[in-house]
Amino acid sequence: MSEAYIALAVLGLVVITVLTRSFFFLTREPLPLPAWAERGLRHAPMAALAAVVLPGVLLDQGQWPDGPWDPRWVATPVAMTYAWWRRDMLGTLLVGMAVYGMLRWWGA
């Protein structure tokens, strides 16, 4: 591949990315979304969080843990309970990591 071909490909990708990401800023009037799309977008942050966090809690390097249980399986519900009770992000992280750390230290 020549350098000109690579530069042209990168420029094309930049243009496509800018256009698709700024589409809503380029219109003069706001584009209304259908009600079903707005309802679905309300759940997008929770779905994205679940897609990132759940594999990290359930799997170890992409595989099921070897032992019968894993400390993360105890620390996660404890942290979730604290988050529901106190609504405190920093406290949730500290409680979850403290439980996880103690269980790992005790050899779980």
Residues 20-44: pLDDT tens digits?
Answer: 888 777 788 888 889 999 999 999 9
State pTM to two decimals: 0.60
How far is the CA of 39 from the CAs of 48, 50, 52, in angstroms?
15, 18, 21
Q: What share of the chain is helix, strand, coil (3-state, %, to 5)?
A: 70, 0, 25
Dump pLDDT digits (tens) for 55-70: 988 888 888 888 888 8
